[in-house]
Structure 1
Amino acid sequence: MKAGRYYGPGDIRVDDIPNPVPKSGQVKVKVAWNGICGSDLHAYLTNVPVYASKEPHRVTGETVPVTLGHEFSGTIVDVGPEVDATKWAPGMDVVIEPIFGCSKGDCFPCSNGTRNICPHIGFIGISGWGGGLAEYITVDLQYVHILPKGVPLDVGACIEPLAVAYHAVKRSGFTPGQTVLIIGAGPIGLFLLKVLRSIDPSGTIIVSEPAVIRREFALEHGATQVIDPKAEQVPAAVKRTVAPGVHLAFDAAGIQASLDACLGSLRQRGTYVNVAIWEATATLDVNVILGKELNFTSTLGYDRVHPEVIALLAMGKITGIEKLITKRISLNDVVEGGFKCLLNEKEKHVKILVKP
């Protein structure tokens, strides 16, 4: 079968690899759609620790090359031995929750239900065990979730990044009526907006984003106000709308300017939530946090929130996800039409899906 494989920064190839056979406790999935993630773009540009390298991953034992793709949905086509045929059967549409920890008994995060912060964290489609940029994948059942009727497979491929946003909002302690700033209206920033709107349909949510099309998307999907950070100072613009500053600021950009803008836009005892992966080290003025008694926190991926996200989609609490899919491509076009397109024309796109 064909698979998009990661050899290292700047090196992704479409290879022919063996078609997988499900083992005990696994299902075989024909991949329908796979989204290209912001972290995939980071790994295309530079070394990212969680991505496979020449050193064996602590959990999978795999080295490069590995099949990429961790935002994907598909349909079960076969089941392995000891799989409950009354629950899992060919023809079922599913989505994969790709995150895993080491699962060792002496690992504090894994043994306390927070595998997303295991020191040996990995992802299917990043650290090994196959990936969504392939025609087929075999997956252990613990990572598989059934898609309800009414949730299409293209939306299913967006559940993984939606889970990132949902986990961040959940960790933030957001409640209806609180005012919010989101910096960065890429996929995660816009998914943060969708999740927040599912909780509070009418509250004040301000989005800062330099790209015109992404500001337009933010307004279309529920932002109260958008700011062009190239044209005006974000804290000043925020405080014209919310005089004391916002309760919560989500950083989905991960640059020095976004950190500074978030801290400057928060009211006293507000909360900064970092959701972004950073490529560079930030400089932090702790006295800014001290002077306002700010809460400073971060989130990494998600852990076991996929069922909650799927339920929100099935109930219609989160809608319009398909409108954020701005391009669909074939696997053969994954580098030029996918990775390079997002890097060179990111102001034109939100989410690109690949059909293996």
Structure 2
Amino acid sequence: MKAGRYYGPGDIRVDDVSDPIPKLEQVKIRVVNGICGSDLHAYLTNVPLYASSEPHAITGETVPVTLGHEFSGTIVDVGPGVDATKWTPGTNVVVEPLFGCSKGDCLSCSSGTRNICPLGGSIGINGWGGGLSEYIAVDLRYVHALPKGVSLEVGACIEPLSVAYYAVKRSGFTAGQTVLVIGAGPIGLFLLKVLRSIDPTGTIIVSEPAAIRREFALEHGATQVINPKAEPVPAAIKRIIAPGVHLAFDTAGIQVSLDACLGSLRQRGTCVNIALWETKATLDVNLILGKELNFTGTLGYDRVHPEVIALVAAGKITGIEKLITRRIALQDVVEDGFKRLLSEKEKHGQSFHMYV
């Protein structure tokens, strides 16, 4: 089969590799995959957490590894120990790719929070195959059935939607609180979807330098948008909401976006960093101290896939398919996927390509 494999920054190749054979308690899946923003960062530069020349602590794999951690698919075969009456070929599923070491003495894994296991990783980033392939064999514990009526394309969006859902859940957001979202890329737009599922009419302001993305944010639930190139974000927030916002989510992961979040908060407000940073950040600790601000980060998600799938199936979160920019073939994933997204970043409101 063909697979899009990561060799390092600027080097992704579509290779011919062996078809996976499902092992004990695994299912083989024919894949539909979305291209992730963090994959784009990894294509440009060395990103922490991505595969390298050093063997991963759990998978033991080094580059090249098959990319793709935002994917759904259809079961085509099952391995030994799988209940074939429940997980029958033809069943549509979504994969929750984060994994931990599963050791009994690991505080994270023993408490169920495998997303923050010090040795953890992700399918499609650190090995065990990935969504940028025709097929993948996955341990059943990472597989969730897709309800009828939820398409495979929407299913491939469950992973990034879970990132947004988990961040909102961790923030403690409740209806009536004012919110700032920095960045209207895929995660920023998914944040809008989740926030609107909780509060359909509240104030949600989005800061985004690209005009088409600002328009898209308005279309998908933003109350108002800010152009940070035209006006400093904290000044704009104070003009709109004098005390500042209750919550700020940073999806950009650069110093100016972090400063904008903290500077836009009201007293005892909360900043949630979702972005994976390429460099170290500097925190204005005196600002945090003086306003008694809360600052936290979220890494992926923690056991929320079933909740997110249920919300989508129930129609609580809608319009996800509108976030898909285009559908491309696997053999075109480098030129028509990664390179196009990077070269036309300002032109794409969604910036979310789908391999099918």
Give TM class, smaller chain.
Answer: over 0.9
2:37 paired residue number: 38
The number of aligned residues is: 355
Q: Secondary structure at the match of 1:259?
A: helix
Are positions 1:6 and 2:6 aligned together? yes
1:164 paired residue number: 163
1:218 Cα shift? 0.6
Query: AA paired with 1:309?
Result: V
Tell me if the contact between 2:248 and 2:270 (Cα under 8 Å) persists in the aligned partners. yes
1:64 Cα shift? 1.1
Tell me if the contact between 2:180 and 2:204 (Cα under 8 Å) persists in the aligned partners. yes
Q: How does 1:1-356 map to 2 (within 5 A)?
A: 1-31=1-31, 33-349=32-348, 350-355=350-355
CA displacement 1:122-166 (0-9 Å, x = unmatched): 100110000000000000000001111111111111110000000
Query: AA paired with 2:152?
Result: L
Q: Secondary structure at the match of 2:325?
A: strand
Tell me if the contact between 2:244 and 2:266 (Cα under 8 Å) persists in the aligned partners. yes
1:331 Cα shift? 1.3
Identity %: 81
CA RMSD of aligned residues (A): 1.0
Q: Secondary structure at the match of 1:72?
A: strand
Query: AA paired with 1:164?
Result: V
Tell me if the contact between 1:245 and 1:266 (Cα under 8 Å) persists in the aligned partners. yes
Give distance in 2, aligned partners of 1:199 and 1:226.
Answer: 20
Query: AA paired with 1:352?
Result: F
1:328 Cα shift? 1.5
Tell me if the contact between 1:162 and 1:309 (Cα under 8 Å) persists in the aligned partners. yes
Q: Secondary structure at the match of 1:240?
A: helix
Give distance in 1, aligned partners of 2:56 and 2:171.
Answer: 31
Tell me if the contact between 1:179 and 1:247 (Cα under 8 Å) persists in the aligned partners. yes
Give distance in 1, aligned partners of 2:154 and 2:351.
Answer: 11
Query: Would the alpha carbon gap of residues 326 and 354 (structure 1) be closer, same or farther in structure 2, given more than 3 Å must change?
Result: closer
Give distance in 2, aligned partners of 1:4 and 1:291.
Answer: 49
| TM-score (norm: length of structure 1) | 0.98
Tell me if the contact between 1:35 and 1:351 (Cα under 8 Å) persists in the aligned partners. no
Give distance in 2, aligned partners of 1:256 and 1:279.
Answer: 11
| TM-score (norm: length of structure 2) | 0.98
Structure 1 unmatched ranges of 5 or more: none
Q: Secondary structure at the match of 1:215?
A: helix
Structure 2 unmatched ranges of 5 or more: none
Give distance in 2, aligned partners of 1:285 and 1:354.
Answer: 39
Give distance in 2, aligned partners of 1:305 and 1:331.
Answer: 29
Q: Secondary structure at the match of 2:154?
A: helix
Q: Secondary structure at the match of 2:38?
A: helix
Query: Would the alpha carbon gap of residues 312 and 351 (structure 1) be closer, same or farther in structure 2, given more than 3 Å must change?
Result: farther
Tell me if the contact between 2:5 and 2:66 (Cα under 8 Å) persists in the aligned partners. yes
1:351 Cα shift? 3.9
Tell me if the contact between 1:334 and 1:354 (Cα under 8 Å) persists in the aligned partners. no
Give distance in 1, aligned partners of 2:227 and 2:74.
Answer: 41
Query: AA paired with 2:287?
Result: V
